[in-house]
Structure 1
Amino acid sequence: MKITYDPRYNIAYFRLHKKVAEVETIKISDEINIDMAPDGTIYGIELLNANEQITKEDKGNLLVVNEATGEETEILLAGA
């Protein structure tokens, strides 16, 4: 997975797989788009107005949790 952030447009993108030519962007809300292939594979999640969404409750930190081990890693996001 790759997470990118573009401060010029305030957009964050969570890439789960590399895009293929057949990806369709589905608008979930005014702030979230999902890139999906015809077979239902989700390729990425786009957050518009990302700063506001990312910093609402967690003060700009990304918490990665390994559910199997309980191990947690907290990452301060740039630009947040």
Structure 2
Amino acid sequence: MSWTALAEVAYLTDKDADQIVALRREGAEWVVDVDVVDVHRVPDTTDFIATYRVRLDDAGEVLDLRRVGHHVRGWIDDGR
């Protein structure tokens, strides 16, 4: 299921899906958060990363896709 989400996000956004950062079940749906390289930079630790949330049914069909955040790859969130 999670690989389906990774492939679908890459296809729908036409960007490089980098990694799955969250996966959970909500009722009859799967909710997967995927980090996507929004802008490639040099060095790659300064890439702009967007996080997309995709909702899938049990068959792997996309029900919803939305961007829920963004950050620079090398930044650390210290919770402040």
TM score, norm. by length of structure 1: 0.28
Is the strand fraction higher in 1 or 2?
2
